[in-house]
């Protein structure tokens, strides 16, 4: 059993990004990332703080537009349009989830696809499905980087993706299909999850349910990628996989924390750098 060290790989990527940023700065270009943060959700604030810290570390210009829960949809749209026009901003991301009165899809569609470093705009998701160059959502992209780093060949592998969100599950499935894997996507209405996961070569889970994947649900030698991140009542962070009992059966497995999480931010930096290069 080998643990996939997301922290170490993310550190490597951040270092490469910093080197490239230094080169861009010599040409007078400073990559810029703008974040829209609505409301006072503690998890969202923690994520944005981590993103800002990472931007500073690699030498990006970054700005956070904080808005109250009660903000109108029009106000958010105005702010995004302003950033679309700002030549110093290469990447725009809206921290999700948004309050209930805001139409998330409408907000995401306002972002200029060339600045959509989260890869959530329909233009970019459409290009991803068609295996064309596009910005790809950071978490699935981070998982693909892990496969690459650990020389895990996806061609012909049976992969089960647990969770069908627009942010993780669907783009993950598209990337896997583009890599010639055989993909099954399961979700909240799947009748018998175990029937799908127990024969899979690779199980990728990201639904936010602690211990959802148990030892009897994976076969010997399976690769298990845990995207879930949950905070237990005792304050401990845990994934969607019962790590202690599942990991001994795996050939490769990601821990939580220290697995996919750090890769998400590393990929955000990479996407923003790519956007700056297109400037």
Residue 2 confidence (pLDDT) above 90: yes
The reply to whether 154 and 101 lie within a common domain is no
CATH number for the domain spanning 58: value is: 3.40.50.10860
Task: Specify if 123 maps to a domain.
Answer: no
The reply to whether 102 and 142 lie within a common domain is no
| Neighbouring residues of 56: CB distance < 8 A, sequence distance ≥ 6 | 62
* Angle between helices 260-278 and 42-58 in degrees, nearest 10: 60
Structure tokens at 117: 């470093």
Task: Specify if 198 maps to a domain.
Answer: yes
Task: Specify if 4 maps to a domain.
Answer: no
Confidence at residue 43, expressed as pLDDT on a 0 to 100 scale: 87
Cβ–Cβ < 8 Å for 232, 238? yes
The reply to whether 160 and 234 lie within a common domain is yes
Closest CA to 217 of 201, 237, 238, 195: 195
Mean pLDDT to the nearest integer, 127-155:
98
For 81, the 3-state DSSP assignment is helix
**Which active-site residues does the annotation give?**
51, 95, 118
Task: Specify if 268 maps to a domain.
Answer: no
Confidence at residue 256, expressed as pLDDT on a 0 to 100 scale: 97
The reply to whether 148 and 257 lie within a common domain is yes
Using 50, 70 and 90 to split pLDDT, how confident is the model at 279?
A: confident
The reply to whether 65 and 175 lie within a common domain is no
Residue with tokens 């055989």: 182
CATH number for the domain spanning 256: value is: 3.40.50.720
Residue with tokens 């649900």: 217
DSSP assigned state of 247: G
Mean pLDDT to the nearest integer, 123-137:
98
For 200, the 3-state DSSP assignment is coil
Confidence at residue 243, expressed as pLDDT on a 0 to 100 scale: 97
The reply to whether 102 and 203 lie within a common domain is no
Closest CA to 119 of 84, 145, 158, 93: 93
Q: Look at the chain and count its residues.
A: 279
Confidence at residue 235, expressed as pLDDT on a 0 to 100 scale: 87
Task: Specify if 55 maps to a domain.
Answer: yes
Distances (CA, A) of 166 to 104, 126, 139, 215, 273: 12, 12, 11, 28, 23
The reply to whether 97 and 148 lie within a common domain is no
Closest CA to 116 of 88, 91, 97: 91
DSSP letters for 96-160: SPPPTTS-HHHHHHHS-GGG-TT--SHHHHHHHHTT-S----HHHHHHHHHHHHTT---TT-EEE
Task: Specify if 218 maps to a domain.
Answer: yes
For residue 100, give its domain range.
Answer: 28-112
The reply to whether 53 and 95 lie within a common domain is yes
Residue 19 confidence (pLDDT) above 90: yes
Task: Specify if 15 maps to a domain.
Answer: no
Residue 147 confidence (pLDDT) above 90: yes
Task: Specify if 221 maps to a domain.
Answer: yes
Mean residue pLDDT of the chain comes to: 97
Whole-angstrom Cα distance, residue 107 to residue 46?
22
pLDDT tens readout for residues 208-263: 999 999 999 999 999 999 999 998 999 899 999 999 999 999 999 999 999 999 99
Confidence at residue 217, expressed as pLDDT on a 0 to 100 scale: 98
DSSP assigned state of 249: G
Using 50, 70 and 90 to split pLDDT, how confident is the model at 5?
A: very high
Confidence at residue 151, expressed as pLDDT on a 0 to 100 scale: 98
Give how many domains the chain has, as a whole number. Answer: 2
Residue 278 confidence (pLDDT) above 90: yes
């Amino acid at each position: 059993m080998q643990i996939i060290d997301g922290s170490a790989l993310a550190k490597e990527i951040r270092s490469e990004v910093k080197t490239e940023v230094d080169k861009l700065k010599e040409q007078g270009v400073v990559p810029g990332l703008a974040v829209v943060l609505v409301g006072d959700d503690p998890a969202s604030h923690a994520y944005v703080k981590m993103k800002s810290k990472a931007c500073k570390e690699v030498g990006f210009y970054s700005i956070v537009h904080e808005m109250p829960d009660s903000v109108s949809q029009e106000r958010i749209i105005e702010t995004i349009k302003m950033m679309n026009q700002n030549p110093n901003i290469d990447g725009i991301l809206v921290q999700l989830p948004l309050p209930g009165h805001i139409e998330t899809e409408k907000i995401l569609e306002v972002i200029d696809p060339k600045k959509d470093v989260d890869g959530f705009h329909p233009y970019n998701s459409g290009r991803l499905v068609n295996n064309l160059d596009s910005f790809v959502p950071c978490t699935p992209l981070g998982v693909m980087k892990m496969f690459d780093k650990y020389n895990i060949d996806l061609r012909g592998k049976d992969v089960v993706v647990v969770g069908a969100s627009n942010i993780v599950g669907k783009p993950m499935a598209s990337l896997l299909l583009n890599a010639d894997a055989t993909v099954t996507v399961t979700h909240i209405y799947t009748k018998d999850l175990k029937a799908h996961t127990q024969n899979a070569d690779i199980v990728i889970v990201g639904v936010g349910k602690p211990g959802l994947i148990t030892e009897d649900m994976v076969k010997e030698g399976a690769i298990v990628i845990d995207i879930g991140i949950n905070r237990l009542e005792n304050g401990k962070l845990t994934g969607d996989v019962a790590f202690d009992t599942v990991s001994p059966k795996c050939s490769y497995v990601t821990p939580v924390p220290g697995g996919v999480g750090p890769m998400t931010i590393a990929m955000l930096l990479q996407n923003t750098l790519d956007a700056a290069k297109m400037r």
